[in-house]
Amino acid sequence: MPTLEVPSRYRVPTRGESRIDVKGTTIRECIVEVESRFPGFQELILDTGGKQKRFVRLFLNGDALERDALDRSLSQEDTITIMASAAGG
């Protein structure tokens, strides 16, 4: 089962969970599955049109993904890491 690593910035809806095993064959399916268990998670990662938000970056097994990789197929051993870029003021 793929694993989703959640940065602490986005752990409020996951109630502190940092690594979540998810059923899903694509990154998008994994995010939707996490949303079903932890409401409020998806809106942090995807915009209302279903696109990856601009401050979110995704990594697959440590490698940075392009921004249009949400529908990429996953294997059972894959680890998806979510990162948030800088904030500023």
Partner 1 sequence: MSVGSEDKMIRVDMTRQSASIEAFPEKWKFLGGRALSAKILLEECDPDCDPLGADNFLILAPGLLAGSSAPTSGRLSVGGKSPLTGGIKEANVGGDPGQDLMKLGYRVVIVTGKPEDPELRYALEVDGDSARVIPADAHKGKWNYALIEDLTQTYSKKASFISIGPAGEMQLSGASVACTDHSQERHPARHAGRGGLGAVMGSKGLKFVAIEAGRAASRKPADKQFFQLSKKYTRDFVAGPGQEPFPKWGTSVGCEEANSLYTFPYKNRTEGRSPDVATLDGMRIVESFETRGGGMHNCLTGCIVKCSNIVHDANGEYKTSGLEFETLTMLGSNCAIASWEDVADLDRLCDDIGIDTIETGAAVAVYMDAGGMEFGDAEGTKRLLREVAEGTEIGRAIGNGAATVGRLKNHHRVASVKGQAIPAWDPRPLKAAGVTYCTSAMGADHTAGLIVDPGQAPEEFARASQESQILNAAVDSSGFCQFLMPNIEEIAEFYTHFYGESINREAVADMGWQCLEDEWEFNRRVGFGPEDDKMPACMAEDEIGGEVKFVWDVPDEIVAAAYSRFDPRDELFTARPS
Site for partner 1, rule CB under 8 A:
6-14, 16, 39-40, 43-44, 47, 53-55, 57, 64, 83-89
One-letter amino acid at 81 equals T
N-terminal to C-terminal alpha carbon distance within the chain: 39
**Closer to partner 1 by Cβ: residue 23 or 51:** 51
Report, in angstroms and rounded to the nearest whole number, the Rg of the chain calculated over CA atoms: 12
**Closer to partner 1 by Cβ: residue 13 or 26:** 13
Minimum Å gap between C-beta 9 and partner 1 is: 5
From 70, 74, 32, select the one nearest 51 (Cα to Cα): 70
Minimum Å gap between C-beta 21 and partner 1 is: 19
